[in-house]
A and B are shown apart, each in its own frame.
Chain A
Amino acid sequence: MNSDRVERATKASRAFAFVALPILAALVALPWWGEPGEMRLVGEMAYYVALAQLWNLLAGYAGLVSVGQQAYVGLGGYALFYLTGPLNMNVYLALLLAGPFAGLVSIPVAFAVFRLRGAYFAIGTWVVSEVFALSASLIVVLGAGSGLSLTPAIFRQISPDRDSRDALLYLMTLAASLLVCAVVYLLLRSRHGLALTAIRDSEPASASLGVNTFRTKFIIYIATAACTGLVGGLIFLQKLRISPDAGFSVNDWTVVVIFMVVIGGIGTIEGPFIGMLVYITLREVLADYGTIYLILMGIIAIIAMLKAPMGIWGWVLQRYDLQLFPVGRRLALAPSEKPPEP
């Protein structure tokens, strides 16, 4: 019996784990050595990475290019505010329900939008998001056009004093983001991940091999929606206010996210991290110049699509075959067996 093995880890990923763990520890300890402003920024970086990983899973792996994920950010946020406000639910419980609520809503949405393909699918998802935004602006109990606010009473349910509250919110955001990254990573390593990569490479071919492409894409869409809803709940919990424009903003939750994934490297797990760092750097450096940084972002995205469509990490992958989060499988042949000469 031969001893060929299927290997998952790469040399680089083992090295990366050594470097990543101390950084992670430092981030977790941030409440004890950092300022509230720093926690807010890192928290923002964390939730953007989560949103980017989710969009990448949907578009880069499942081939579903959605320009409507902001729908689930808003749904998660509104679910949180409605459950804790008019329905008087405990804030932690409401937060746990925000994700599943978004996931449930995404089921009928999927049935509608899956009838469209390609770029038309993209616009269709956008229309759905607009429907939610418009509906929210018309429903009185959701605050109509001005939205809802979180009362101090609700906010204090997280924790009575300010410092521990900030720390808890930050740690919850960090934890949610890590959870999302872990789920995406494990999913792509699994058999389902292999199915996704096959679908991405060729839908007809994978269908002919028995991969149920509709069901796979459907499940990915629902799961992504639920996770996006959870992140949305966390985002607006910290913002204390939600309105239709803010909750369902295509600029805040989709344009920026797509930019991160495209620049960082679509179809890779490392990409969203890099893209997020590029975006945050651009935004902070050009903060005084109004919306110039958005124009610059648009120009960079165009150039990237024309010259380096695989993004920064895609370029690294091609040059150096470096995988920090290995999702592939390689066959390591047992040394005594060499294939026969042709």
Chain B
Amino acid sequence: MDWLNALIQGILLGGIYALFAIGLSMSFGIMRLVNIAHGDLIVLAAYVALVVSQGTGLDPISSLVVVVPVMFALGYAVQRGLLNLTLSGGLLPPLLVTFGISIIIQNGLQEVFGAYTHRLQEGAIETASLRLPGGISIGVYPLLVFGVAVAAIASLQVLFYRTRLGRAFRAASDDADTAELMGIDNRNLYALALGIAMIFTAIAGVLFAIRTNFDPSAGPIRLILAFEAVIIGGLGSMWGTLIGGMVLGIAQALGSALNPNWQILAGHLAFLVILIVRPSGLFPRTKD
């Protein structure tokens, strides 16, 4: 039964990893930009929630009413004011600029909050669990997070395939020059894309910080987890990313069942194996 529990835990872990990955996926899919600061933005959202919670007494999930608009505005501003300027220079400028942003966020957070670890407190729901027949128990919170991930991806599918804005995103992703010739202002479009990506980054940041301790240097590992989910699932498919996250989660849970210290390493190794054996991922859709 331990193994079954581990499997279920792993599947549900896929939820948070998919949420981590959404922002990264959107940036790459629409702007061809890999945001090295992505993990640090997740952690930044957690700190914003911490400040809002402590300041207003709101619980972390309710604090999202402030965190989400703040992160949206930040994403719009950063893309419009900074990242848009790097798009025509080839591979290095976006990489190094987002790297610079990553360093600034990490060290800035450290200056303001110190190197201490924090955790957001949501209350009883953190430890509640459902008892199922066969001696299996599922945590309510991981189930909730998984549900949020599914809802997030479903809402993005609606955005991309049933709205005017989504159509513009897909067109610009296909052919940015011709999209401009059709009247689409790419500068504004890309900024909106990062802004929307940051909505999901904010949600991911708050949800993960309720379950996991975080400190200013917690960003890079989140970036790596998001990246692994995207690559395992295959570029260009959001549902693929969810499955990629689940595969990653299962690998980690199985590793953890053997020895708790092996959790993250097991995930990395699974990622490398899939990379060698099936480099385009499980459900690839985009061509670079």
Do these two chains really belong together in a complex? yes
Interface residues of A in 129-177 (CB under 8 A from B): 130-131, 134-135, 137-138
A299 touching B99 by the CB < 8 A rule? no
Which listed residue (B97, B107, B262, B265) contacts A302, Cβ 8 A? B97
Whole-angstrom CA separation of A290 from B221 in the bound complex: 24
Which residue of chain B lies nearest to A294 when distances are taken between CB atoms in the complex? Answer: B107
Task: Note all chain A residues with C-beta closer than 8 A to B92.
Answer: 59, 65, 266, 305, 309
B111 interfacial contact with A, CB 8 Å: yes
B130 interfacial contact with A, CB 8 Å: no
Interface string of A100-119 (1 = CB under 8 A from B): 00000000000110011111
B268 touching A130 by the CB < 8 A rule? yes
B271 interfacial contact with A, CB 8 Å: yes
Which listed residue (A112, A119, A130, A299) contacts B104, Cβ 8 A? A299
A291 touching B100 by the CB < 8 A rule? no
A41 interfacial contact with B, CB 8 Å: no
Interface residues of B in 65-124 (CB under 8 A from A): 82, 85-86, 89, 91-97, 99-104, 107-108, 110-111
Chain B binder among A23-31, A120-128, A178-186, A189-197:
A120-128
A237 interfacial contact with B, CB 8 Å: no
Task: Note all chain A residues with C-beta closer than 8 A to B86.
Answer: 305-306
Which residue of chain A lies nearest to B34 when distances are taken between CB atoms in the complex? Answer: A119
Q: Given that A298-B101, A306-B97 are known contacts, is A124 also in contact with B275, CB under 8 Å in the complex?
A: yes
A116 touching B82 by the CB < 8 A rule? no
A332–chain B nearest beta-carbon distance, Å: 33
Task: Note all chain A residues with C-beta closer than 8 A to B95.
Answer: 65, 119, 122
Whole-angstrom CA separation of A255 from B220 in the bound complex: 12
Whole-angstrom CA separation of A67 from B103 in the bound complex: 14
Q: Given that A138-B262, A294-B107 are known contacts, is A301 also in contact with B96, CB under 8 Å in the complex?
A: yes
Whole-angstrom CA separation of A116 from B100 in the bound complex: 22
A250 interfacial contact with B, CB 8 Å: yes
Whole-angstrom CA separation of A116 from B281 in the bound complex: 11
A134 touching B99 by the CB < 8 A rule? no
B272 interfacial contact with A, CB 8 Å: yes
Interface string of B256-275 (1 = CB under 8 A from A): 00000110110011011001
B111 touching A292 by the CB < 8 A rule? yes
Other A-B pairs beyond A255-B99, A295-B104, 16, CB < 8 Å: A65-B95, A119-B34, A119-B94, A123-B227, A134-B268, A292-B107, A295-B107, A295-B111, A298-B104, A301-B96, A301-B103, A302-B97, A302-B100, A305-B92, A305-B96, A305-B100
